[in-house]
Every structure is written in C-alpha cells, then in structure tokens.
Structure 1
C-alpha cells in the first residue's frame, strides 16, 4: 500500500480524535468485571457494505468516510494474498481460507487513541489477549512504540516500521490449522509522555459459520486439538475472557 495512502489514513484518525468530545463517541464498557484500559476506542462495521450503519460514521473530518471506504478494500487484498499463501503452505487449495471470508463475513474497524499516561507502570493501554479473528491488520502510529508480543512468557516490543502494516494471525487460523499456526498473545503498554494512535481491521467469518480444524490436517499422528464452535459463540466468549484477563482460545482446546 502506498505510503501516501497510509499517511491519509493516520491523519484522518488523528483529526477525528482531536475533535471536541461532543463530536466523537466515547468508549463505554458494560460489566463490573471489566478492568478499564487506558484507551479510547471507536468501532465501525465496514464489511459487508450492507451492514454499514452510516448514521454512526463520523461526518468530521470531512474526508473520514471517503478514506475509510477505500482503506478496507486495500486491506482485503493483502489479507487474501496472505491467506492464499498460508493455504499453499498446508498443501490445501489456495482459495481454502479465502473462501472463509465470503459475502457474509464481517470486517470491523477499530480506532484506538492512547493518551499519555501519568502512571504507565500501573495500567495497560490494552491488556493481554489474542484476537478472535481470521486475521487482524494493524496500522500503528510510527512516532511511538507500545505494542508487545508474548513468547514463552517473555514480552517483546514490536519494532516500529514506518509506513508498514502488521498482519496478525487470529484464533480462527490457529483452530483451523489445528495448532500449526499460532495466534499470538499481545498487549499495548502506555507511555508517560506521548500519545499513540492505531487503526485495526478485524476480519471475521460469517457469524453462523462453524470454526473447527481442517479435516485434512487431522489424522492418527496429528490428533484434533480444538472443539467445534460457531463464530458468533466464539466472539461472545472472547468478550467474557477478555474481561476476566484469560484467553478464549483455551476454552476450545481439547
């Protein structure tokens, strides 16, 4: 994706969060279990287009709607390319995973604003979790770091690469690959001096579609490691586990 296009996306996100409070939506959380993160979040459904509720789309800044309408198209191209190559790695039909994102698949955009935090050692920007998605594409502010990945119990900073997109494997791919691919646990830490912005695209299957290991990847030597579950039920589960600080992927492991 061209750096100029990415620059427009980040700039319109920045302009949105500079608007007065009454012109943008606040982040409300329902439930006593939820530990509030140091982050202002704004969600929109962007695909399928028939599911867009334009009355919820900001009218300011003026370029917001036009830019956000174009950006998911380019991200979908990247997602499809990666999915085709992952299917090839597993000796599956190249369209196998692409076909999961059919006309009923859902894509959500989440705009994140992390203000500078006076006590960064006491609160997360976003607490540890994995994504209940097929794929997640993250465009991060290249002026300040904050995203971290966990490996073997150790947290590592994700390096800042200007004008780059981070493609993150989701829980759905871990389940369907029967554990051959891993959905990384990640978090966002806060910064005492600088604010941080990001735009995240969540690619999810049709809510009524079932998630389970691909039959070709299960045999006597490679036993089934995950239970079957509907997409909508798994999404509901991740909200519960996120509030508790646990991982939803653990609820479907055999």
Structure 2
C-alpha cells in the first residue's frame, strides 16, 4: 500500500510553511520538502559519490570497517535480515559532518571526487536543516531560535550513505526503527522506504524519490513532549538497480541534553520524556549492539 506524503513548499510564506509543518508532524511524522534550494546536480553528485564508494573493492572499503559507533567515519554492513548473508542486504558509510573542516580529511579520498561531491551536498543540506529547525520550533510556538541557537555552531550533523544491492525479490534491508535525531533529511535514488501507519499499524511504501523527505526523529518528539512523534520506518527493497539513500541526521551537540520544552510541559501538566543526548543514544546503541535501535531507545525515554 502506498503512503500519502504531505508536501511543504519552502517558497510559500512563512505562516503557511509553519502551518504545513505542524500538520505534517502532528498527523504523519514526515513530509516531502520542495523548493528547498539544493540543485539537482548537487543531489545527483552525492548519490553518484555513494554509488562509486560502494563499487570500490572490499579491501578498500574494509579500511573504514568498525563496530565502534562513536567513530567519526565508519563502514559497516547489515541491518536487515539476519538469516543468511546480511552483507547482501545493506552496506553503509557513516560520516560526521559538522564542523566539516574537523572531519573532511578523515572521509574516504577514494573514489575520486567523493569528498568534493559529498562535501558540497553536506553544506547545502545543513543550510536547509537550519531553515527547517526554525520552522519546527515556530510550529511549536517556541520561537525560531529555540534550536538553531544550539545547533548552528556545534550541532551534530551525521551523514549515513546506504547502499542496497539489486535483488530479484524485495528483502528487509534495514529493520524497523525511528531516528535518534531531531530530524532527518533523506535523499534516495529509488523507492524502498516504508513507514508504519500510526492508525492501522500497517507498512506503507513511499513511492516518491524525486526530492527530499524529512522525518521526525526521537529528539523532536522529546522536545515537543509528544505533540510530534518520531516516524517508525524501514528499508524493504528489491529491484533491477542498486538503491542509494543518504540520510542526514541533525541534532544538538554531542553531550547536550534534549528535554521537553518547559512551555509545553506546563500546557500538558506532565513531563512525558526523560532528557537525553546523542552521546546517551550512542552508549545505548553500543550496549544494545543494534544498528537500528532507535524505536527501543525512544521507549526508554518515555515516562509512564
């Protein structure tokens, strides 16, 4: 079944943008953003850089192999079906990207042009993230600078480039999870993303892949004290071509705690979530030994 995808047009006036984001986050937990200012050649350059990286030899990719979830540049495989060869389902390269000057020399220098193409996309998508962060907090009546004042200089920006090989039959390539971030901006070249419908508890496919998708993450759920909920999603892919997706995770600085906004707690008369940081999530992930533990993580933050 195909999911409905709400659209937020950044060329609209600010009041309309904020209202559309509020509706999308309240009812769906995701939306497509258009007129976002990232040219198609920049997006296509990043996707091709990812595809070229996964075409490298095993030895070249293994240089970045690590199980250390705190490593700024990390290659890995798996995340889907555990019965059989998980490497056939998904491989990924994870890159810390802010401040980009601190990490760019750690990024792979092969294939040729990888750093240049991915850096260009990283800079564009971060500018978009700051615009969206302002609109998110305006939609919660917290003011436009509630997040950006903390995110602008030292906020976490992590890019995960995922590669899914061609398969005759669709396979579960990345298990169900919600993202630990405040929000995620997702670029992809082929369908394969599925979201869990909140009302029917059924998986719905996202058929559109010609733009950018924005996903509500766990820490926006915490900030909003539950007004917005992180969207549970997975990758379920099969097709004649390989699939590339580039997820840009945007968060507060590594050790900064995200907590429910006091104004929203006062309105609800109850604080519904514990405070947590990205570092807390990484420690949880390491202890769980599970690359897709976001849905379990948010459950650990909810106060019952």
Per the TM superposition, whether the score is higher than 0.5 is yes
Query: Does residue 12 of the first structure (1) align with residue 49 of the second (2)?
Result: yes
**Deviations 1:184-223, CA, capped at 9 Å, x for gaps:** 0000013154321111111122121112100011126442
Aligned to 1:46: 97
Give the deviation of 1:102 after TM superposition.
3.9
Which residue does 2:188 correspond to in 1? 140
Matched, 1:85 2:135: yes
**Structure 1 stretches of 4+ moved >3 Å:** 25-30, 34-37, 117-120, 241-246
User: Structure 2: which 5+ residue stretches go unaligned?
Assistant: 1-37, 69-78
Distance 2:289 2:230 in 1: 15
| Contact preservation (8 Å) 1:209, 1:230 | yes
CA apart distance, 1:51: 3.5
Give distance in 2, aligned partners of 1:18 and 1:157: 27
Return the offset for 1:53: 5.8
Which residue, 177, 180, 186 being the options, matches 1:129? Answer: 177
User: How much does 1:125 deviate?
Assistant: 0.8
Following superposition of structure 1 onto structure 2, how do residues 1-254 of structure 1 map, counting pairs within 5 Å?
1-25=38-62, 29=67, 35=82, 36=86, 38-52=89-103, 54=105, 56-117=106-167, 120=170, 123-141=171-189, 144-152=190-198, 153-162=201-210, 164-191=211-238, 193-219=240-266, 221-239=268-286, 240=288, 242=290, 247-254=296-303
TM normalised by structure 1 equals 0.86
TM-aligned CA distance change 1:210 to 1:66, over 3 Å: same
Secondary structure of the structure 1 residue equivalent to 2:108: coil
Deviation string 1:210-250 (CA, Å, 9 cap, x unpaired) is: 12100011126442110122331133224528468652100
Q: Which moved more, 1:236-245 or 1:208-217?
A: 236-245
- The answer to whether the 8 A contact 2:49-2:118 is kept is no
TM-score w.r.t. structure 2 length? 0.73
d(CA) in 1 for partners of 2:61 and 2:291?
A: 25
Distance 1:243 1:18 in 2: 23
Aligned length: 245
Hey, what's the Cα distance between the residues in 2 that align with 1:184 and 1:90? 18
